[in-house]
Amino acid sequence: MPELPEVETIASGLWPMLAGQTIEDVTILNDSSVEGRRYALENLITGREITHVHRRGKLLLMDLSIPEVYEHELPVPRSEYPLQLAFHLKMSGRLFVHPVGTPPARHTRIIFDLSNGNRLFFDDVRKFGFCRALAPCDYLNWQFWQQLGPEPLVINTDRFVSLFQSRRTRIKAALLDQKVIAGIGNIYADESLFRAGIRPDKPSNEISQKSLRLLHVKLKEVLKQAIRECGSSIRDYRDAHGDAGAFQNNFLVYGRTGQNCRVCGNPLKTEKVAGRTTVFCGTCQR
């Protein structure tokens, strides 16, 4: 599943191609690819300009312009008009801009026709991903959004430490919990814990403040490096131009089951933490 660096990379790649474009039409080809109010996605975003593309956690967000008409001319109250489109790519979701007239591919789930003639396709082989139109009323009713934790690149270190100090759950499980901190998945949890020298199965409340501070530093370093290298391509992930990321070439532990540690040379260990395959070094991570 694309994590924070991958979604950040996709958003930054899409924005130059979508900046100032108006959504002229929406075609839904797969019902399960829509979450929330289908009516809003089909009928209330046409004629709206895309004003920004960015990220929140693992969500890709497209901001929309405000309808420039009087309240009495709108078919529904203004509070029900979407302010954003939220895409969760899940395992295999992709967003690509195609030239005018491009037909949908086999796995295209939603088509957005743009004012310059281009078409934005939301493709998803496994059909786990979704698009959701977000109006003021939707933010309040969407529990996932309401419970989303702070951003690891924005939160200060003192707040980061406080999030984990009182939790008895294992530190990797806490990092993966989107209610605790947003955007971290299996890859960047393993890599940051290795760089901080912390065992992934250690209870959060047994880790010293000094080690938690170091973890925040290393987590930000890993995320920023991954963003610079356009994310990690393991299976399905491609950026907005169809290119693979490069950070997988720098993995120190993730996906290296059965190999030796690149720091100490000892065999890496593998176990399940929070239901996820976890690779770590028993020597470097104490």
What is the predicted pLDDT for the residue at 70? 60
Distance CA 4, CA 58 (A): 5
- Tell me which residue has tokens 């895309």: 50
Task: Supply 187's token pair.
Answer: 């890859």
Least confident of 48-52, 70-74, 178-182: 70-74
Q: How confident is the model at residue 69 (pLDDT cuts 50, 70, 90)?
A: low
Residues 192 and 271 in one domain: yes
Same domain, residue pair 211 and 236: yes
21 domain-assigned: yes
Indicate which residues carry an active-site annotation: 2-3, 58, 276
Q: Find, among 242, 244, 247, the residue nearest to 229 by Cα.
A: 247
- Asked if residue 151 is part of any domain, the answer here is no
**135 plus 219 within the same structural domain:** no
* Structural domain ending residue among the three candidates 146, 167, 198: 146
Domain-terminating residue out of 146, 180, 203: 146
DSSP notation for 158-217: HHHHHHHHT--SBHHHHHH-TTTSSS--HHHHHHHHHHHT--TTSBGGGS-HHHHHHHHH
232 assigned to some structural domain: yes
121 and 82 assigned to the same domain: yes
Residue percentage of the chain with pLDDT more than 70: 97
Residues 197 and 240 in one domain: yes
Predicted confidence (pLDDT) per residue in 213-270, tens digit = 999 999 999 999 999 998 987 766 787 778 778 889 999 999 999 999 999 999 999 9
**What are the CA-CA distances from residue 270 to residues 68, 200, 201 (Å)?**
57, 10, 11
Q: Would you state the pLDDT for residue 243? A: 76
Q: Are 166 and 275 found together in one domain? A: yes
Domain boundary among 119, 146, 173: 146
Asked whether residue 106 is assigned to any structural domain, the reply reads yes
Angle between helices 4-18 and 209-228 (to 10 degrees): 40
* Mean pLDDT (the chain, rounded): 94
Task: State which residues form the domain around 30.
Answer: 4-146
Q: What pLDDT score was predicted for residue 72?
A: 61
Residues 35 and 110 placed together within one structural domain of the fold: yes
In a domain, 285, yes or no: no
229 is a domain residue: yes
Residue of 19, 52, 26, 55 lying closest to 40 (CA atoms): 26
Q: Which residue has better confidence, 240 or 13?
A: 13
- Phi, psi (5° rounding) for residue 4? -50, -50
129-156 pLDDT, tens digit each: 999 999 998 998 999 999 999 999 999 9
Cα separation of 168 and 174, whole Å? 9
The fraction of the chain above a pLDDT of 90, given in percent, is: 85
Q: 19 and 53: one domain?
A: yes
| 240-to-89, 120, 212, 219, 261 alpha-carbon distances in Å | 13, 11, 34, 25, 33
191 shares a domain with 234: yes
Length of the chain counted residue by residue: 286
For position 192, which CATH number holds?
1.10.8.50
121 and 141 together in one domain: yes
* Residue 268 token pair: 């890496």
Query: Do the domain assignments include residue 134?
Result: yes
Q: Does residue 71 carry a pLDDT above 70? A: no
For the stretch 75-126, pLDDT in tens is 777 778 899 999 999 989 999 999 999 999 999 999 999 999 999 999 999 9
